[in-house]
Copies of this chain bind each other. A is one copy, B any other.
Amino acid sequence: MPSPAITTSTFQPLPPALLEELVALLGDRFSTSASVREHHGSDISALDPMPPQAVAFVNCIEEIVSVQKACHHHRTPIIPYGSGSSLEGWLHAVHGGVCIDVSGMNRIIEVRIDDMDVTVQPGVTRKQLNAALHGTGLFFPIDPGADASLGGMAATRASGTNAVRYGTMRENVLAMTAVLADGRVVQTGTRARKSSAGYDLTHLLVGSGGTLATVAELTVKLHPVPEAISAAVCNFPSVDHAVRTVIQAIQLGIPMARIELIDTLTVRALNAYSKTRLQEAPSLFFELHGSEASVKEQVETLRMLADEQGGRDFEWALHPEDRSRLWQARHDAYFAALALRPGCRSVTTDAVVPISRLAECIEATALDLQEHDLSAPIFGHVGDGNFHAVILIDPRDPAEVERAATVAHRLADRAIAMNGSCTGEHGVGLTKQSYLQSEYGQNAVDIMASIKAAMDPHQLMNPGKIFARGTPLA
């Protein structure tokens, strides 16, 4: 599927002096091989790859600094790369350049149990971190499904199924060490849990998608492993009934750890792909964390709220294996969706709206999909008002691709009109640039561009993302 509104430029070849310098620095950890480049210029979206001109596999901050200083000297674009699990073309080398792969920087630098924080290199993945935390009584909750790198998760302001209780990367990154285009190393914060000192550079970098700096180290919050965990599934007469249950649960202050909405088509996909035997109806998957007694109390309140909204087949997964099976199925949703139609790819939406508008937004979108003759399982993080329609397309059918783009476009507009956002957790990347203006207004986009210009005056950091390159800068 061609990337929207992007004409791939023919790049100047990398300057020989730059190639020489990077080979001298990294040896065989610097690659210009076609397969390595192809792999690094794509993600799990349906976008056709746009390979960088070279890939630098770095092992330490000093190497990031050296690579970036060399690229800066030659005015060559720089694209930071973590685990490649982007859904928005963040890694596509629209303007060529050197991809900096930090996956080898995967050392857990220090776990501090009393302070409940950890400092890691950016290539550490969330599963790796949680494995290392085993036995400490602490865990890292952010769970976007993919086993993403923490550097990448910070860059895209990732979240996932646990955000309703534990927040997103926005709430969980305490501080970062980052490298600016020109090689300057910036410390954005300290290990203080809160601070009012100066501008909040941590939050400026979280979500900036490598367009301001490369994340070279990060300190994130950890959370206590709950004494008791319980999970449940329940189906409802309609999406509206399910959402109403969630609104009431939140208003009662039930501290749900996960609360996921799965539409009927997604249930069908899961039953086929993950061999679950769920009732084919809009469903909620819950997870509750707390003490034994408080989880039991929450369970009872939730069941009562669900009953009032016509919830049926309320089923608790009390055993860890049942729970794992349930959440594995939820995490499989994206691939289960794709498996509904062999050979298809997807256009994945990421709209988020105030929860009072969520049912209306999903229902309008379902109707729009139907009217455009498209099939799209819908599921999402109902507590945050965020949902994904995985619009299944045959990438060789331009008319269908076009219809999917239209529906996705209309959904982003709909979410923004409801005072929501075009993207809850995937980011603007390559494909959602046109919505920034309607979401925030031109003045905000101008300010963002002026910050970009102040921090990266030569537009070398991941150019063509968030803003089209060539956007007039303030």
Chain B: CB-nearest residue to A200: B203
Chain B: CB-nearest residue to A226: B253
- The answer to whether A198 and B436 have CB atoms under 8 Å apart is yes
Say which size band chain A's interface belongs to: 35 or more
Among A94-102, A127-135, A333-341, A353-361, the stretch that binds chain B is A353-361
Q: Which of A112, A171, A199, A415 has the most CB of B within 10 A?
A: A199
- The answer to whether A440 and B194 have CB atoms under 8 Å apart is no
Task: Report 7 cross-chain contacts, Cβ distance below 8 Å, ordered by A residue.
Answer: A114-B355, A193-B352, A198-B440, A204-B204, A253-B290, A293-B294, A451-B451
A157 → chain B closest CB, angstroms: 4
A 440-456 to B, binary, CB cutoff 8 A, 1 in contact else 0: 11011111101111110
A123 → chain B closest CB, angstroms: 21
Set B199, B354, B385, B421: member contacting A204, Cβ < 8 A: B199
A 184-228 to B, binary, CB cutoff 8 A, 1 in contact else 0: 111111111111111111011011100010000000000110110
Among A49-57, A76-84, A426-434, the stretch that binds chain B is A426-434
Interface of A with B (CB < 8 Å)?
A: 112-117, 137-138, 156-159, 163, 167-168, 170-171, 180, 184-201, 203-204, 206-208, 212, 223-224, 226-227, 247, 250-253, 255, 289-291, 293-294, 297, 350, 352-356, 384-386, 415-416, 419-428, 432, 435-436, 439-441, 443-448, 450-455, 466, 474
**Chain B residues, Cβ within 8 Å of A185:** 441, 443
Set B297, B385, B454: member contacting A294, Cβ < 8 A: B297
- The answer to whether A444 and B186 have CB atoms under 8 Å apart is yes
**CB-CB nearest 7 A-B residue pairs:** A203-B203, A195-B421, A114-B356, A224-B253, A192-B421, A450-B454, A196-B427
Chain B: CB-nearest residue to A350: B196
**Chain B residues, Cβ within 8 Å of A188:** 440, 444
- The answer to whether A453 and B454 have CB atoms under 8 Å apart is yes
- The answer to whether A196 and B114 have CB atoms under 8 Å apart is no
Q: Which of A168, A201, A455 has the most CB of B within 10 A?
A: A201
- The answer to whether A115 and B355 have CB atoms under 8 Å apart is yes
Set B193, B203, B356, B446: member contacting A384, Cβ < 8 A: B193
Set B189, B197, B224, B447: member contacting A201, Cβ < 8 A: B447
**Chain B residues, Cβ within 8 Å of A184:** 443, 446
A193 to B170, CA, bound (A): 11
Chain B: CB-nearest residue to A223: B253
**Chain B residues, Cβ within 8 Å of A203:** 170, 200, 203-204
A353 to B115, CA, bound (A): 10
Given contacts A194-B386, A451-B454, 18 further A-B contacts (CB under 8 A): A157-B195, A191-B419, A192-B352, A192-B353, A192-B354, A192-B419, A192-B421, A193-B354, A193-B386, A195-B421, A196-B207, A196-B428, A197-B422, A198-B436, A198-B440, A200-B207, A204-B204, A293-B293
- The answer to whether B114 and A186 have CB atoms under 8 Å apart is no
Contact A159 B293, CB 8 Å, known A199-B207, A454-B453: no
Chain B: CB-nearest residue to A433: B198
Chain B: CB-nearest residue to A206: B200
Contact A251 B195, CB 8 Å, known A200-B206, A454-B454: no
- The answer to whether B428 and A198 have CB atoms under 8 Å apart is yes
A385 to B194, CA, bound (A): 9
**Chain B residues, Cβ within 8 Å of A424:** 192, 194-196
